[in-house]
Structure 1
Amino acid sequence: MIKLFIGGLADNIQEMDLAIFVSLHGKIETIKVVRDRATGKCKGYAFIEVINQSDASNIISMLNGETFKGNVITVKQSAEEAPKKVFKPKPSGGQPPKSKRPRVQR
């Protein structure tokens, strides 16, 4: 899958409107409009995933710099994400974890 970034979106954008607009130029697999948790308004950008590079290239070339819902949008291939760190919870119970080395008595 190829992930594309779409920036410059209006704050009242709906996923379906964006999907229809973009799907005219390539087949979309997933779409995620990034929203503010408190207000539900779009933060101005979204991510879409397409299956092949030819669809991604076509979407980028046809839509980058175009006007959508009154805003000029930016469309580009998203940079690969760095692997996320695995969360390791600390032991509960208020006791520190046991040391692997024995303590030396002085």
Structure 2
Amino acid sequence: MVKIFLGGFPLDTNELELVQLVSLYGQVETIKIVRDKQTRKCKGYAFLEMKDRAAADAVIDALDGSAMGERELKVSIAPDKPATSAPPRSLGSFVKVRRPSDDQRIKRPRKLT
């Protein structure tokens, strides 16, 4: 599968309309319209996964620079995300002391009284 970026479409466009537009050039596997986390309003771009590279190239050739409503579409192969892990979250000035796990603890005999 090949992930493509599709941006610049009208903000009132839904997933079905985009799939109908793109599926003329190949099979769409998944679609994700990016929305604002708080308002849930469309940000005007989406990511789609096409079945193969030929379909993705056909979509790019056909739709990149074309008009949709009053806006110009931008279509390209989506860049891969870097495979780095997120840095640890800061706990402010609080420092957490890690205790050794059970198998790392030094076992001391208990005093009998």
Shared fold, TM over 0.5: yes
Residues 98 and 53 of structure 1: CA distance in aligned 2, closer, same or farther (over 3 Å): same
Q: Offset at 1:62? A: 0.3
| Equivalent residue pairs, number | 97
Tell me which structure has the larger Cα radius of gyration. 2
Q: Offset at 1:77? A: 0.3
Q: TM-score, normalised by structure 1?
A: 0.79
Q: TM-score, normalised by structure 2?
A: 0.75
Q: Offset at 1:34? A: 0.2
RMSD (Å), alpha carbons: 2.5
Separation in 2 of the partners of 1:38 and 1:45?
17
Alignment match, 2:5 = 5
Give me the identity figure in percent: 33
Alignment match, 1:52 = 52
Q: Does 1:97 align with 2:98?
A: yes
Aligned partner of 1:31: which letter?
I
SS in 2 for 1:20: helix
Separation in 2 of the partners of 1:86 and 1:71?
35
Separation in 2 of the partners of 1:95 and 1:5?
42
Alignment match, 2:92 = none
SS in 2 for 1:62: helix
Preserved CA contact (<8 Å) 2:26 2:51: no
Residues 40 and 95 of structure 1: CA distance in aligned 2, closer, same or farther (over 3 Å): closer
